[in-house]
Amino acid sequence: MTAVNLSERHFIERGIVAREAGGSGWGLFAEEDFEPGSPIFWLKLETNARSTLGTWEEGFGPCQERGFTFLPGFSFCCTAELPFWFVNHTCEPNAGFVNWGFAEAQGIPFVAHRRIAKGDQITTEYAVMTTSYDGSLRRDPWSMAPCLCGLPNCRGDITSFNALDKKIMREQVLPEGKVRGRVLAHVLAECPDMVELLRQEDPAMYTKYEETLRQQADMIKKMQSQGHL
């Protein structure tokens, strides 16, 4: 009989494993090196064995702790079979979205933002995927406290993107390095001053931002026609 290792979880995706991460519970770790821009896994906005796509309101049911508004009006809920379940927040993340969450054939890529070495924990920034109204069915602001990253620059409370300090918002919109478009398009759209900054400072990525918004609108229309809303 094959022994079952209850101290870690593997996935159909290669190169990653979930295991204990100290005070923050379980986390996702690299089992191989990832270069900046390399996909770690893909998120498919659909209902399958590892995730559920429902209305935004349904995101406040059983999946509230792992429900995300990756598409306006919809809640994406993952199970522990999906690596994203184990990705913890830190205030200095090494992974996340690219091209404003533009969906490719395989899904929305979740990529390395800088080099991730084998053994490193894979972390992300929750704010860039959180709208101003994700706090409750009453559309209250969202926050999570305390942050457990323990870094010198820890913000203490994790909030939606629109509630971040302007300096941090700018760093996310115009980051250093080659991986651009780290904020989901509809989340960035809530901050007109940051959109204008993007238009002025990085016209090419502004064009990609607009393309991603159009893609989101097309996806919403398709789902509405299929009776999802």
Rounded CA separation 42/12 (Å): 11
Predicted confidence band at 202 (pLDDT cuts at 50, 70, 90)?
A: very high
CB contact burial 45-54 (16+ within 10 A = b; e otherwise): beeeebbbbb
Closest by CA position to 78, among listed 7, 28, 121, 31: 28
Q: Does the pLDDT at position 4 exceed 50?
A: no
Q: What is the CA radius of gyration of the chain?
A: 17
Contact 27, 94 (CB under 8 A): no
Q: What is the pLDDT of residue 5?
A: 60
Q: What is the model's pTM?
A: 0.94
Q: pLDDT per residue over 111-149, tens digit each?
A: 999 999 999 999 999 999 999 999 999 999 999 989 989
95-96 vs 108-112, strand pairing mode: antiparallel
Rounded CA separation 139/160 (Å): 12
Place of tokens 């399958």: 48
Domain ranges within the chain, ordered by starting residue:
9-225
- CATH match for 9-225 among 3.40.640.10, 2.170.270.10, 3.90.950.20, 3.30.230.10: 2.170.270.10
Rounded CA separation 51/148 (Å): 26
How many Cβ atoms sit within 10 Å of the Cβ of residue 163?
Answer: 15
